[in-house]
Structures are given as structure tokens and as C-alpha cells.
Amino acid sequence: MASFKLFGGTNPGDVAGPDSVAVIGLGRFGRALALELMSHGTDVLGIDQDESVVQSLNGRLTHVAVADVTSEEALRQLAVDEFDHVVIAIASNLEASILVTSLMLQFNIPELWAKAVSEPHRAILQQLGVRHIVFPEQDMGRRVAHMVRGSLQDYILIDEDYALAKTTPHQEILGRELGALDVRRRHGVTITAVKHAGRGWEPATAQTVLAADDIILVSGPAKKTEGFRRLR
């Protein structure tokens, strides 16, 4: 029998529903991810090799377990192979990350996510066949860089050359209906939503008129989206 210590329940298989998530590795990224999932009502099984880390999350996740994350037997006993969603959040041990990824692929996990800590690590995960790869440090660096350069409040790269930005409108597009401004033809982006002062978000329409204190969501090619705040 594989050795592991389980907190928070007696049978993690009871948690392995279609919407539950197993998070392997409870460092800063894995911990933050697991707690955020819990805050939205998702059952989470968290697994780590460090008992002190696991105990700190006891009662905060549906189940937490101390186990050798590279042991197929231990992971099967913890019913990880029954989960539809698994996140490999191991950062400090490249070999362990690769071994666990191989096991998850053998388990045929439908939705497998893995954290990469370097470009070579990302390349290995891609070669193994992982479709969802997260590179938190690099992705956040890129995001902040676009925000700094583009005077944006938030910036999300949807694909290699398509982005969504949260910003305030340039003075040249204030006070007139968006339909009359023909923003998409003239600037290559689409204003998808607007938040007027003191109100919630609403879809932007051809009849929407923007004010200086509004906040807008803009989507389109990355460079055009970034430059739209300055109309460049």
C-alpha cells in the first residue's frame, strides 16, 4: 500500500465529480488556485509532499493529502485518476513535474493543466501533449508590460495576436454615438462593453455614448488594442 495522509475526509473519490478539481503541488501558485476554486464553490483535492503545507490548508480545501506525488499507486488511492480536471502546480522540481504529467496522461485526464517554470519546461510539456500550459511569471510580466506601455487598467492576451483590454476612452471618441464613430473600421478594434460611472457593466451598442469617466472593454489585434487608448 502506498503511504499517504489524508485530511478533510475519508474518501476523495467522493469529491471526484465532473466539476471538482485535483491540484497537485500546493506552493504559492497551487495554493492560490485551490483557494480561489473553493471560493467559487468548487470541490478541491489538494496534494503535496510537505505535511506542514498540507496541514495549513486543512479545513480550507475539501480534501488535502500528504503523498508522494510521483507515486502512481498513491495517486490512484487518492482517486486522482477519477477526476475530470487536474492541475499540476509543481514548480520547484522539474523531474517531479514531468513524472506527474506522464501519469496524468496515462490516466487520460480530460482537462489537464500544468504549470511551466521555464521555456524548456514549457517545451517538454508541449511535447508530452499537455494542451493547457500556464506560465504565471512570464504571462504576468507580459500583461504588466502591456499595461505600462499602453496606459491600460488591465490587459489579457487571448491568443498570440488577439487581446482584450480594460481602459478609459480617448477624448476623441467622447460624446458621440459609437455607431457614428465607426471604431472598428477606423481603428481595427471593437468596443465590447462599457461601465458608466456609478453603474454596472453593459454591452456597448451603436447607440452608446461615452464619457470621460467611463471604463470600456476593447478587443482586437494585440498591437491595435494596446494602442487604442492613445489612438495610435
pLDDT of amino acid 155: 84
How many helices (H) and strands (E) are present in the chain, helices listed first?
Answer: 9, 12
Task: Answer yes or no: are the C-beta atoms of 97 and 88 closer than 8 Å.
Answer: yes
For helices 119-128 and 94-106, what crossing angle results, to 10°?
20
Beta bridge partners of 22: 45, 86
Q: Which residues contact 195 (CB under 8 A, 6 or more apart)?
A: 201, 202, 214, 215, 216
Mean pLDDT, to the nearest integer, of 179-201?
93
Domains of the chain, first to last:
5-134 (3.40.50.720), 140-230 (3.30.70.1450)
Mean pLDDT, to the nearest integer, of 35-60?
93
Please choose, from the candidates 78, 55, 88, 95, the residue with its C-alpha nearest in 3D space to the C-alpha of residue 4.
Answer: 78
Please choose, from the candidates 107, 106, 101, the residue with its C-alpha nearest in 3D space to the C-alpha of residue 127.
Answer: 101
Q: What percent of the residues of the chain are helix, what percent strand, and what percent coil, each to the nearest 5?
A: 40, 30, 35
Mean pLDDT, to the nearest integer, of 26-42?
92
pLDDT at residue 54 greater than cutoff 60: yes
Mean pLDDT, to the nearest integer, of 98-104?
95
Global pTM reads 0.72
pLDDT of amino acid 3: 59
Mean pLDDT, to the nearest integer, of 6-26?
81
CB atoms within 10 A of CB 224: 17
Rounded Cα distance, 43 and 198, in Å: 35
> Residue 4: which pLDDT band, with cuts at 50, 70 and 90?
low
pLDDT of amino acid 62: 92
CA angle centred on 159, ends 139 and 193, rounded to 5°: 95
Percentage of the chain surpassing pLDDT 90? 65
Mean pLDDT, to the nearest integer, of 91-96?
85
CB atoms within 10 A of CB 121: 18
Mean pLDDT, to the nearest integer, of 137-152?
71
Q: What is the DSSP string of 53-68?
A: HHHHTBTTBSEEEEE-
pLDDT at residue 1 greater than cutoff 50: no
Mean pLDDT, to the nearest integer, of 19-47?
93
Q: What is the mean pLDDT of the chain?
A: 88
pLDDT at residue 201 greater than cutoff 50: yes
> Residue 232: which pLDDT band, with cuts at 50, 70 and 90?
low
pLDDT at residue 138 greater than cutoff 80: no
Cell of 184: 472598428
Mean pLDDT, to the nearest integer, of 36-54?
93
